[in-house]
Structure 1
Amino acid sequence: MTLEAQIGKYALLLASLTDEELAFLKPSFHKIRYCQGKVGSMNMQKVIAAVETAAKRNELILDNCYRETHALYHAVLEGIEGVTRGQPSIGEMSRTVGLRFAIVRGRPYAEESEGEWIAVAFYGTIGAPIKGLEHETAGLGINHI
């Protein structure tokens, strides 16, 4: 497997690196299609919307293509499961998230017929909505387009 094919690894790196750290590695990312963003909320819909908006604005998915939006949605949900330890809710459980996210689109298989896949990674904090009571969290979701 080539490094460019490891879309999950790239997504995790891009989500977890600070801007300063990324500056040193940015030349390594020239062969992949990706975008990054940040979101903080007690509302799961805002987290999902932030990722979807970033993907569409950066042309990682087609705005009017249900198949691509659907693939992204499932990758987001899988990533959120990691962030929330299998309980995909935040505000309803009186917890909040502050997350950096990355979306990577690519071909993780050598066989052309396997098509494109999308990876969504989250890294940040989750916890009680009181500053200083949160802890680190991460999640990764990958889905075929």
Structure 2
Amino acid sequence: MTQKIQIGKLAMLVASLTPDELEPFMPALGEVSYCQGKAGSMEVQKVIAAVETAAKRNGIIKENVYRETHALYHAILESLEGVMRGQLGVGNMMRTVGLRFAIVRGEPYEHEKEGEWIAVAFYGTIGAPVKGLEHETFGLGINHI
């Protein structure tokens, strides 16, 4: 099995680069479905909801197909583990996040029976809920649909 496109790499690029910086990657982005958004909160549930809402509004997943929502949910959780260093908690741990996110859906394998996969990447800041006391963070989650 060889890889066709790298949805995780594309998700990380979309989450972290400006539109001008993304320009060289537009041919690869033309091979996938993707969207981006922002989420800032002291509540993990609000971050998850922002990503789910963006995915549904932009047609990345079908709202009435459970396996698609389920795959997205697991990709979100895996990505948040990276952002939060394995401790899924924000406000209850006296920290807050300000994140940009990207969702990328595609077929990363040549063998078509491998099907579609979804990647979620977060890039932004995490830290104490005091301006200037946060630091950069990144997370990536990938799941099969």
Distance in 2 separating the partners of 1:139 and 1:100:
11
Aligned to 1:38: 38
Aligned to 1:132: 132
Q: Which amino acid in 2 is paired with 1:91?
A: G
Given that residues 31 and 106 in structure 2 are in contact (C-alpha distance below 8 angstroms), is that contact kept between their aligned partners in structure 1?
A: no
Distance in 2 separating the partners of 1:32 and 1:117:
10
Report deviation, 1:26.
Answer: 5.7
Alignment of 1:38-57 (within 5 A): 38-57=38-57
Cα shift readout 1:79-109 (whole Å, capped 9, x = no counterpart): 0000000101111101000000000001111
1:74 paired with 2:66, answer no
Report which stretch shifted further, 83-92 or 29-38. Answer: 29-38
Aligned to 1:27: 26
Aligned to 1:61: 61
Cα shift readout 1:28-83 (whole Å, capped 9, x = no counterpart): 32222100000100010000000000000010100111110000000000000000
Aligned to 2:90: 90
Q: Which 4+ residue blocks in structure 1 deviate beyond 6 angstroms?
A: none
Tell me the SS of whatever aligns to 2:126. strand
- % same residue: 71
Distance in 2 separating the partners of 1:112 and 1:33:
17
Aligned to 1:16: 16
Report deviation, 1:27.
Answer: 3.0
Structure 2 residue runs without a partner (length 5+): none
Distance in 1 separating the partners of 2:25 and 2:93:
37
Structure 1 residue runs without a partner (length 5+): none
Report deviation, 1:17.
Answer: 0.7
Aligned residues: 143
Q: Which amino acid in 2 is paired with 1:69?
A: T
Given that residues 12 and 121 in structure 2 are in contact (C-alpha distance below 8 angstroms), is that contact kept between their aligned partners in structure 1?
A: yes
Provide the aligned C-alpha RMSD in A.
1.2
Q: Which amino acid in 1 is paired with 2:60?
A: L
Distance in 2 separating the partners of 1:142 and 1:26:
20
